[in-house]
């Protein structure tokens, strides 16, 4: 099975933002990606990181993907436990919904920042922000 770990962050909220993503098969990292995304909020960065993760995962599988994030808000919105009230997040939420069509099954899991793979993506995005 393919897993993604993604993280988005901003300094200032809104502020300078970046994303970090890895795509892996079990414990083997297949792809690592990071990018500066301009000035935005932390929640927007989290969604943009997930979108990139799903786009990258679709190059490895059309079957099942498990998306792991440290954003409880994003995971609960995608699971339908929270509504998407922010007009800025709604288009990003809908884009994730559309990307789900690339897979037979998509799962979302919230993990803490202490998870070893979440630490990797956090480092990726912070390296991007540090290089500004």
For 39-78, what is each residue's pLDDT tens digit? 999 999 999 999 999 999 999 999 999 999 999 999 999 9
What is the Cα Rg of the chain in Å?
14
Contact 2, 57 (CB under 8 A): yes
Sequence-distant (≥ 6) Cβ neighbours of residue 69 within 8 angstroms: 5, 6, 7, 46, 49, 50, 75, 108, 109, 110, 111
Average pLDDT of every residue of the chain: 97
The reported pLDDT for the residue numbered 43 is: 97
Domains of the chain by start residue, with CATH? 2-130 (3.30.420.10)
The reported pLDDT for the residue numbered 46 is: 98
The reported pLDDT for the residue numbered 77 is: 98
Task: Indicate whether this model's pTM tops 0.95.
Answer: yes
DSSP letters spanning 63-86? SEEEEEES-HHHHHHHTTSS----
CA distances from 107 to 37, 116, 117 (A): 25, 19, 17
The reported pLDDT for the residue numbered 72 is: 97
Contact 125, 9 (CB under 8 A): yes
Is pLDDT at 106 greater than 90 in this prediction?
yes
The reported pLDDT for the residue numbered 51 is: 98
């Amino acid at each position: 099975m393919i897993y993604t770990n993604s993280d988005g962050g901003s300094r200032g909220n809104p502020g300078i933002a970046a994303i970090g993503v890895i795509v892996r098969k079990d414990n083997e990292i297949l792809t690592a990606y990071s990018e500066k995304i301009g000035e935005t909020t932390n929640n927007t960065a989290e969604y943009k990181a997930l979108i990139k993760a799903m786009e990258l995962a679709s190059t490895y599988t059309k079957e099942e993907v498990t998306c792991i994030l440290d954003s409880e808000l994003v995971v609960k919105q995608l699971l339908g436990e929270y509504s998407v009230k922010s007009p800025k997040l709604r288009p990003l939420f809908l884009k994730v919904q559309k990307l789900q069509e690339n897979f037979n099954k998509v799962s979302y899991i919230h993990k803490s920042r202490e998870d070893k793979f979440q630490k990797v993506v956090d480092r990726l995005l912070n390296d991007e922000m540090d290089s500004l």
